[in-house]
Amino acid sequence: MAESKRINWDNAITIVSVAILVGTELVGLTWAAGWAFGGMLGLPRSVSIGVEIVGAALGLVLVYYFVRAALKVEPIRG
């Protein structure tokens, strides 16, 4: 039976902290960009909210890829 590798808590805390910081910035940026585009283009409120939601979803996808790349540099296990 193979032993499981121990968690490196220094790396885990670093990854979680950076994910929270970068995630907040990316989601906030993309959400605000959706709001700004909706206002600049004079879109109806419901369409503007849809653009904001799409922007926030894009931000979450970017956070996912950022965390994947960060885990390659700072592995949690090992």
Instruction: Give the pLDDT confidence score for residue 53 in this predicted structure.
Output: 87
> Alpha carbon of 58 to those of 30, 32, 77: distances in Å?
7, 12, 28
Instruction: Give the pLDDT confidence score for residue 77 in this predicted structure.
Output: 83
Q: pLDDT tens per residue, the chain (78 residues)?
A: 456 788 889 989 999 999 999 889 988 888 888 888 888 988 898 888 888 888 888 888 988 999 999 999 988 887
Which is it for the CA torsion 8, 11, 61, 59, positive or negative? positive
Domain limits, the chain: 9-73
Q: pTM of the prediction?
A: 0.74
